[in-house]
Structure formats: structure tokens, C-alpha cells
Structure 1
Amino acid sequence: MTGMEHLASFTATGRLHGIGIGSTLGEVDQAFPHRFVDVVDEGGTSLRRDYGFVEFYFNSDRGEEWVMSGGSLELHRLASGHDMARTWARATGVTFPRHVAWADLREALAGVPGAPAFEVTDQGGFLEYRAAASHVSVIVVDDAEEERGCHVGHGDVWSIGLWAPVRAN
């Protein structure tokens, strides 16, 4: 599977390498055998696991198992971090491009059964494409003066975020 196909699948399903909201830390460890940095909050109830351009967020009641509450693919980091993409490709077999154009991702999504509809909001220099069906938000650079290079440019995906649905009480 190409990086673009992988991103389209993640955007449509909210699952990356088989994990998503509600996955345990053990399940993530099995799916992502990569080096990481863990940051636990002072209260010990939230954890951020950083793999470079992929981050996952976990919550736990003290003494309970860590459960994924969100995550993000920080695709903007690939524009200047060539080694990140190569390391990821060696470990997973998935090669990501240095820049991901939103138009290319939309085209890839067109081939995915059940691709979600998006609500678009302006985020001041960015557009957020939010898919309620998959609980995924795609953040796209919307500044015409931003040019591609060591950074993402106008029309490129900055990040793809995964968020937990709000539970009704």
C-alpha cells in the first residue's frame, strides 16, 4: 500500500495499522514497533506517545490501562525530516511522500468505499476538513504565500488528526 492509499484509508476509517480510538497501549505497541518518547502529565491520567511524525494520545484512570483517545499524523514534519519517512518505510513498508497535497489525498479518497463527507472551517491560515463519520480532521495550509520546500505549502496537508467522539451523558 502506498503512503497516499494509507492516508486515504486512515482518513476514511479512523484506523491506522489496525488501531484507533479505544485501542490499548499494548495494541499500539504491537502495531508500532518504533522508537518513541512518552510524556505523562503530572496527574498521571494522560499520555502522549511521540513517534516523530505520528503521535498518539491516551487516557487512564489511575491504575487502569492506557486507552487511546486521539492521535495525529504530523505530515508537515516530513517536508524537512527525510529520515523520518525512510525510517517509517523500513519498519512498516509504507512510503510517505515529502509533501501531501490535499487534492491528491481527495483523489485517493475517491477510490475508498464509504469515504466520509467533510465539514470545512477556516482556522486562520489553515482549513480544517472534519469527517464526523471517521472522527478525523485534515488540516490544510490555506495561505497562498506559503511555498513548498523544506516546509509544506499552500494546499498541502499539515496534519491528519484523530479525535474521540463526545459521549452523551
Structure 2
Amino acid sequence: MHAIPFLVSFITSGRLHGLGIGSTLSEVDQAIHSDFVDVVDEEGLSLRRDYGFLEFAFNPGSEWVMANCSIGLHRLASGRSMAKRWRKSMRVDFPRYLAWDELRDELSRTPGAPCLRVTDQGGFLEYSAAAANVNVSVIVSDDHETRGRSLGHGDVWSVSMWAAARAQ
């Protein structure tokens, strides 16, 4: 599968390989088949699982439960090795660079695609799909006009899923 339909599904559903906020660490182990590094904070209050350009964060409980997930597409610009490993293990083909225009065009053709709210994050534009609790960060810094070992203007920096804020 190409990255664009994969990311459109992630943005519209708030699910990644069937996983969402609240999924357990054992569910992640069943769904994701790739090498990783686990980092637990000193107090044992959080676990970060890093797969290279994909990262999960977990909160403790009777089991570790997913609090967020981020696909750091910016990490692919410096080389293709992470993308090649992911394609082999998870069968999703990520490009070295992904233009927001391409992803947005596919989203616009997708039935039921969420409304995206845009906010300026100083060098980035963040497009939020509140219904799915997913954000797309797009680089717009003038320092990144052209692509190289880093992204260019208009490229997707990351796509992240976060737990919804609790009502007060």
C-alpha cells in the first residue's frame, strides 16, 4: 500500500493498523511487526516506543495504554533505510518526501473526510481533524524552500494522533 491512502485512513479514522488511543501495548505488539526501542521514564509513568519514524507513547495502568502515536515523516528525508524496513515489515511504502498538496487532494476526494482546522505554529501549519484526534504538521518555514536531507516548504512533517482533552 502507498503511504497516501494509508495516511488518509489514519486521518479519517484515528486508527493505525487497527490501533487507536487506549490500545494496549500487547495489541501494539500484535499489530506492528518491526524493530523498536522502548524508553520508560525514571518514575515509570510513561513508556515511549520508537520504531524509527513511528513512535507510540503509553500511560501506565493494569497494562500500558496508548496515549498518542506519531508518524515522523521528516525522519525519512535523510535516508530511505527506515522506509524500506517499514515497507518490508508492514507493507506500507513511504516516500522520502510527502507534499501536503498530494495528501490534501486525496483527502478531498475521500467520502466522510473530516473538516480540518488550520493553526499557525510558527514555521509549521497544523491541520487538525478533531473528530479523529489527528493532526497533520506541514512545514512552511522560509528556511526550507528546497528539499535535500530535510523537507522542503509544503512537505508533511508528521501525522499524529492524540487522546482527546477531557471536558472540565
Aligned-pair RMSD on alpha carbons?
1.1
Alignment of 1:33 onto 2:33: yes
1:74 maps onto 2:66 in alignment: no
Structure 1 position 91 matched with structure 2 position 85: no
Looking at structure 2, the residues matched to 78 and 138 of structure 1 have their Cα atoms a distance apart, in angstroms, of 16
AA aligned opposite 2:42: E
> Tell me, which stretches of 5 or more residues in structure 1 are unaligned?
none
What is the DSSP-based 3-state SS (H/G/I as helix, E as strand, rest coil) of the residue aligned with 2:142?
coil
Cα distance in structure 1, aligned partners of 2:27 and 2:167: 26
Aligned-partner SS, 1:112: coil
Normalised by the length of structure 2, the TM-score is 0.95
Range moving further from structure 2, 154-163 or 137-146: 137-146
2:164 equivalent to 1:165: yes
Q: For the residues of structure 1 that align with 2:106 and 2:92, how far apart are their CA atoms?
A: 15
Amino acid at match of 1:87: R
One-letter amino acid of the counterpart of residue 120, structure 2: D
What secondary structure, in the 3-state scheme, does the structure 1 residue paired with 2:11 have?
A: helix
CA deviations over 1:47-95 (Å, ceiling 9, x no partner): 110000000010013xx10000101000001111310000000111110
> 1:168: Cα distance to partner?
2.5
Alignment of 1:11-160 (within 5 A): 11-61=11-61, 64-146=62-144, 147-160=146-159
1:48 maps to amino acid: R
Distance 1:19 1:32 in 2: 9
1:17 Cα offset (Å): 0.6
Aligned length in residues: 167
Runs (5+) with no aligned partner, structure 2 = none
1:18-66 deviation per Cα after TM superposition (whole angstroms, max 9, x unaligned): 10101000000011111101111111121110000000010013xx100
Shift of 1:128: 0.7
* Contact 1:9 1:112 (8 Å CA) reproduced: no
> What is the CA deviation profile of residues 117-140 of structure 1, one whole-angstrom value per residue up to 9, with x for unaligned ones?
111111111111111011001100
Please, what TM-score do these two structures have when normalized by structure 1?
A: 0.95
- Contact 2:77/2:149 (CA < 8 Å) preserved in 1? yes
